[in-house]
Amino acid sequence: VVASFIATFNSFLLNRAFTFRISDKTDAGKQAAKVYMVAYIGLAINSVIGTLFFHLLPGHPKISAFIATAIGAGCAAVWNFFGQRNFAFKAK
């Protein structure tokens, strides 16, 4: 939990500074809350999709787990990027 909180905060700082190039500090608190919301929804997406695909994919359990984890992580990464771009760091 602590590592996830720190990683999300680091993501917030780096995305704010480098990805979206925001220097205005007026909405930083609201943006941080939105980033955490998007990130934890992404975590749920990752868990649900990974679990679903693990149970749907035939074959060796280790290979199924690897593929399912990659699919879940890919879906969550897409969600996180577009969620942060279109919700957390959306220009006014």
Contact between 15 and 34 (Cβ < 8 Å)? no
d(CA 88, CA 77): 15
Q: What are the tens digits of pLDDT across the range 13-72?
A: 999 999 988 888 888 999 999 999 999 999 999 999 999 999 999 999 999 999 999 999
Among candidates 49, 36, 50, which has minimal Cα distance to 4?
36
Evaluated on CA atoms 37, 70, 14, 85, the torsion sign reads: negative
d(CA 12, CA 54): 30
Contact between 43 and 70 (Cβ < 8 Å)? no
Name the one residue in this structure whose structure tokens are 């990683």: 7
Q: What are the tens digits of pLDDT across the range 63-74?
A: 999 999 999 999
pTM: 0.87
